[in-house]
């Protein structure tokens, strides 16, 4: 059964991260197993379980400004240790994505993409990946 709890702190920024990651942040019980096993935790100013807590209280700004999102190695150790099946890794990636998208808002439009696709020297994977990063 899918549990859906109401959370007044789920502002639009948190909703966007949930939409991108497909994770259920309310399932996290703050046990800290993800942080304890994270191989990159020494370089993080906000530990993995705290990342979820900030999302639960609706403070995405703190996460966007933290170095933790860039120090996460996307190794999925946190996900494999979580007793509630929550992936901090996917949430970190979603926060990173929102930062990158803000930086390059109008850099890659559908018109530019169609031009790039005609360039034989441009790997298609790079275009698709860039479009995913720089489009909303």
Length of the chain measured in residues:
136
Q: Is 81 in the site for ligand SF4 (CB under 6 A)?
A: yes
The residue from 11, 15, 30, 114 that contacts ligand SF4 (CB under 6 A) is 30
Q: Is 92 in the site for ligand SF4 (CB under 6 A)?
A: yes
Q: What is the DSSP letter of 107?
A: T
DSSP sequence for 49-71: HHHHHHHHTT-HHHHHT-SHHHH
User: What angle is formed at CA 17 by the lines to CA 13 and CA 18, rounded to 5 degrees?
Assistant: 115
Q: Is 101 in the site for ligand SF4 (CB under 6 A)?
A: no
Least Å from the CB of residue 18 to ligand SF4 = 14
Stretch that binds ligand SF4, among 1-9, 27-35, 95-103, 124-132 (CB under 6 A): 27-35
Q: Is 86 in the site for ligand SF4 (CB under 6 A)?
A: yes
92 vs 127, beta carbon nearer ligand SF4: 92
Q: Is 70 in the site for ligand SF4 (CB under 6 A)?
A: no
The sign of the CA dihedral 102, 107, 111, 116 is negative
76 is written with which tokens? 């999925």
DSSP H helices in 5-47: 12-21, 33-37
Q: Is 18 in the site for ligand SF4 (CB under 6 A)?
A: no
> What is the binding site for ligand SF4 (CB under 6 A)?
28-34, 38-40, 48-49, 52, 72-78, 81-84, 86, 88-89, 92
């Amino acid at each position: 059964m899918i549990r859906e709890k109401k959370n007044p702190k789920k502002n639009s920024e948190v909703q966007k991260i949930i939409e991108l990651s497909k994770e259920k942040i309310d399932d996290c019980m703050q046990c800290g197993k993800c942080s304890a096993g994270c191989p990159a935790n020494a370089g993080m100013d906000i530990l993995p379980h705290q990342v979820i807590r900030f999302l639960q209280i609706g403070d995405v700004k703190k996460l966007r400004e933290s170095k933790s999102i860039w120090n996460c190695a996307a190794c999925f150790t946190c996900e494999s240790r979580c007793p509630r099946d929550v992936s901090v890794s996917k949430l970190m990636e979603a926060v990173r994505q929102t930062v990158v998208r803000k930086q390059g808002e109008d850099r890659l439009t559908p018109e530019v993409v169609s031009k790039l696709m005609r360039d034989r020297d441009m790997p298609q994977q790079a275009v698709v990946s860039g479009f995913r990063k720089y489009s909303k």
